[in-house]
Chain A
Amino acid sequence: MQRTAEQIEQAELRPTSGMNRAAEEIEKDLLRPIFTSSTKYKVAVALSGSLVLAGVAAFAYQLYTGIGVWGLNSPVFWAFDITNFVFWIGISHAGTLISAILRLCHAQWRRPVTRCAEAITVFALIIGGIVPLCHIGRPWLGYWMIPYPSERLIWPNFRSPLMWDCFAIFTYLTGSTTFLYLPTIPDFAAVRDASSGLRKRIYSLLALGWQGTPRQWQRLETAMHIMAIVIVPVAVSVHTIVSWDFSMTLVPMWHTTIFGPYFVVGAIFSGIAALILAMALLRRFLHLEAYLKPIHFDNLGKLLLTFSLLWFYFVFCEFLTTWYGNAPPEMTVLRENISQHFAPLFWIMVFCNFLLPVPLLSRKKLRTITGTAIASCTVVVGMWLERFLIIVPALDRKFLSYSWGSYRPTWVEDTLMASGFGLMALLYLLFSKAVPMISIWEMKVGLQPHGGGIITKVSAIPQPHAIMVLEGPLPTDEPE
């Protein structure tokens, strides 16, 4: 940190252009959270860490006592765990998908948003992946899901949607981690050059020896473009496959073709809400007011509004078809949702996902940082409830009344759910300490006159020459 301050001081003595001064400011602002920690930050880490520890304790109790400590019983064998799984996989759609789409569209306002978003994806996928491991009861046998023919005669069943989940989530996690890591490499190099001692050594490893040659920049941009193209269909496939966990079964209200797109829309909807919330918190706690501006919240608010309307459209389509068909098993579940046992939760969900966000986000005057954050908060709650209401009512009123049952979560499930949120907060906080939460180099590109857009090569050069820059290994006078 000292070194950076000195460098900045020295640089200020020399005449620099306005662009250089802005670049210095960006460097200084975005590296600050890495080198300093406020009391608020430490309190937040302690709180989220406590939640995670509580979850670890609850899980240890579950392992010791058995999965019977959960409230699951016939006929409801899926409840909080799968709700959390679907919810977190949905949240993961915030980052990579939105970031990839904005990159492909060359949206200039994306620059401060992308990394916050991509980090959400990776952490939400990790949490989402942990949930099924908890659910299988004996997580040490989780490797049985790895698809290889084994001498135990346990053969992977490629016709099982759970096996599809494994592949889809693994591919998405690999892609999202790569998508997050690649544009971070130059920023790791910036931290490397601004630090000393052990920190310098760690960041040197993470930066992989990045220099910033034109060839490296070009290869990075090309790789990011390819990744953005590939990751969009992967993200769509992941939540479609998650929806097939349900729609491939003959349970009332699950066996419907609309589930694929309905889940994808819901996932993007909850993902955008999570992103807005994360950005609002980062803005406040890391003092990034100059970077995360009202325009970003306004744009994301519009997107949230669009998805709120789309979500309502899908819910309406699904419910109308069920009501018109009037099949008794489906009508039982529908009534359970809208007017019987689960009605309070259902109407809270409608309020949180539609009735509150739509008027709040429709008016420009209300689409402020506070307005979008409030709407996002309710959407996150509403979308969790939506996942719960898809799963539990359909199971506890499945077909004939002799098999009906009920479900009530236990403290173990409540704790595990809360610890999921705690883990998300903890991972995000630790990440913000290790990596600039806004891409430094991309922000600098935004300062350039062309904004990093499509180029016209020679017009910017005052003395046109035939230019041929040959890149390649540099000749050295000493053995490597």
Chain B
Amino acid sequence: MNVLYALYADPENAQRAIDALHAASSELHFDQRQIVIVSGEPHESYAFANSDTSTRPYGWAVFGGAVGAICGYLLTTLTQKAYPIYTGGMSITPAWTNGIIIYELTMLGAILTTLITLLRGAGLPNFKGVIKDPEIWLGKILVGVANPPESSQLELETCLLQAGASEIKQFSRASH
């Protein structure tokens, strides 16, 4: 994978570059999904950082909690019913104390689901094709295009430079 990119010290310039790339995508024959943005911190104040405001993780957490509750109910009830004790038909599943176990497992379900949702949503773990430039940890924002068409490379460079970048860089997985 090759990435042609520039680094921007200012998020406003990064936003400009992204806008310009979006505007030029059809003309320069690349898909908008090929635009790469990487930063060392979230920039919530800018539109480029708000491309995916999904609320699904909240729903999944609730679902995970429900699954945890059902597991808790089954664990306590089925175990207690399997006790080798003759109770003369009396209930052996106390709701109050079982409720504590069910509560804890509900929370555990929500926690584990949140973790899984994050890993899945963020595409982690991913040890292949990680685009990185050490300067992003110094406050720069990387904006570029993955696998840019060779015919429009020059135009892309111009596009990135006009937004305020000082230099154009290239990342290829083979070199990292």
**Interface residues in chain A, defined as those with a beta carbon under 8 Å from any beta carbon in chain B:** 3-4, 7-8, 11, 14-17, 19-20, 22-24, 27, 147-149, 153, 155-156, 158-159, 163-164, 167-168, 170-171, 174-175, 178, 182, 185-186, 189-190, 193-194, 204, 208-223, 226-227, 230-231, 233-234, 237, 241, 440-441, 444-445, 448-450, 452-453, 455-458, 460-463, 465, 467-478, 480
Contacting pair B34 A474 (CB below 8 A): yes
Bound: A230/B40 CA distance, A: 27
Q: A7-B134, A11-B138 are in contact. Are A470 and B51 (CB under 8 A)?
A: yes
Collect the chain B residues with CB atoms within 8 Å of residue A19's CB.
Answer: 9, 139
Collect the chain B residues with CB atoms within 8 Å of residue A219's CB.
Answer: 52, 57, 117-118, 121-122
Collect the chain A residues with CB atoms within 8 Å of residue B131's CB.
Answer: 211
Contacting pair A209 B97 (CB below 8 A): no
**Interface code B49-84, partner A: CB below 8 Å = 1, 0 otherwise?**
111111101100100000000000001100110111
- Which of A27, A178, A241, A444 has the largest number of chain B CB atoms within 10 A? A444
Contacting pair A226 B33 (CB below 8 A): no
Collect the chain A residues with CB atoms within 8 Å of residue B39's CB.
Answer: 212, 214, 217
Contacting pair A460 B46 (CB below 8 A): yes
Contacting pair A475 B33 (CB below 8 A): yes
B156 → chain A, closest Cβ, in Å? 16
Contacting pair B134 A3 (CB below 8 A): yes
Q: Is B42 an interface residue (CB 8 A)?
A: yes
Q: A171-B107, A178-B111, A462-B12 are in contact. Are A24 and B45 (CB under 8 A)?
A: no
Contacting pair B125 A7 (CB below 8 A): no
Collect the chain A residues with CB atoms within 8 Å of residue B19's CB.
Answer: 461, 463, 465, 467
Bound: A15/B164 CA distance, A: 12
Collect the chain A residues with CB atoms within 8 Å of residue B103's CB.
Answer: 237
Contacting pair B41 A227 (CB below 8 A): no
Interface of A is mostly: helix
Collect the chain A residues with CB atoms within 8 Å of residue B15's CB.
Answer: 460-461, 467
CB contact between A153 and one of B44, B84, B108, B173 (< 8 Å): that residue: B84
Q: Is B123 an interface residue (CB 8 A)?
A: yes
Bound: A467/B123 CA distance, A: 23
Bound: A153/B84 CA distance, A: 8
B69 → chain A, closest Cβ, in Å? 13
Contacting pair A218 B52 (CB below 8 A): yes
Bound: A449/B51 CA distance, A: 20
A28 → chain B, closest Cβ, in Å? 9
Collect the chain B residues with CB atoms within 8 Å of residue A456's CB.
Answer: 45
Collect the chain A residues with CB atoms within 8 Å of residue B108's CB.
Answer: 170-171, 174-175
Bound: A455/B105 CA distance, A: 35
Contacting pair A480 B111 (CB below 8 A): no
Instruction: Tell me which residues from 26 to 40 in chain B have a Cβ below 8 Å from any Cβ of chain A.
Output: 31-40
Return the chain B residue nearest A222 by Cβ.
B57
Bound: A465/B61 CA distance, A: 35
Bound: A350/B119 CA distance, A: 48
B134 → chain A, closest Cβ, in Å? 5
Bound: A358/B10 CA distance, A: 47
Contacting pair B79 A147 (CB below 8 A): yes
B88 → chain A, closest Cβ, in Å? 19
Bound: A457/B53 CA distance, A: 13
Bound: A220/B107 CA distance, A: 19
Bound: A453/B43 CA distance, A: 10
Q: A8-B138, A449-B45, A457-B47 are in contact. Are A175 and B107 (CB under 8 A)?
A: yes
Collect the chain B residues with CB atoms within 8 Å of residue A222's CB.
Answer: 54-55, 57-58, 118
Q: Is B124 an interface residue (CB 8 A)?
A: yes
